[in-house]
Amino acid sequence: MDNLMTILLVEDDEVDVMNVKRAFKKNHIQNPLLVAGNGIEALEILRSKNLDVPRPKIVLLDLNMPKMGGIEFLKELRKDPELASTSVFVMTTSNEDSDKVEAYNLNVAGYILKPLSMERFIEAVSTLKSYWMLCEYPS
């Protein structure tokens, strides 16, 4: 398996984007990381044929975003035959049961609450790294 598969972060908050990049660095994650500010941008990236890196196989998704939020993005992603098998991990501040149920009904690989401390966030990203390195993905 290619452990350096491309990851797409779908996040509109610049502080959270910087926190993810910092957590990747602290965990020695060298995977190419693409960033989209909302679901529309994320779908454009995933559907693009002209990427400098391979199409992302893993998406880290915030739920609360402008233009197209996370749940709406998931619905579109799962309807697209070329993208439906993409692994999506929700990383959000939403602790609403309705969001969790809807996300899992749309086949997310995990639902992670963003920890308030940077140390806990780094630990959460470390756990994600361990998970996706163990998984086998089709070419």
**One digit per residue, pLDDT tens: the chain, 139 residues?**
345 788 899 999 998 899 899 988 988 888 889 999 999 999 999 998 876 778 888 999 999 888 999 999 999 999 999 999 898 999 888 888 898 999 999 999 888 888 767 788 888 888 878 777 766 666 6
Q: What is the pLDDT of residue 138?
A: 62
- CA 102 to chain centroid, in Å, comes to 16
Q: What is the pLDDT of residue 1?
A: 37
Q: What is the pLDDT of residue 139?
A: 61
Helices and strands of the chain, counted as H and E runs: 5, 5
HSE (side-chain half, CA atoms, 13 Å) at 58: 22
- Which three-class secondary structure string do you get for 16-75? HHHHHHHHHHHCCCCCCEEEECCHHHHHHHHHCCCCCCCCCCEEEECCCCCCCCHHHHHH
Q: What is the pLDDT of residue 47?
A: 92
Hunting for tokens 């996040």 — which residue is that?
Answer: 11
Q: What is the pLDDT of residue 131?
A: 76
Which CATH number does 7-78+90-134 carry?
3.40.50.2300
pTM equals 0.88
Hunting for tokens 């966030």 — which residue is that?
Answer: 121
Q: What is the pLDDT of residue 105?
A: 94
Q: Please state, in angstroms and as integers, the Cα–Cα distance from residue 114 to each residue in 20, 108, 120, 122, following that order.
A: 10, 16, 9, 10
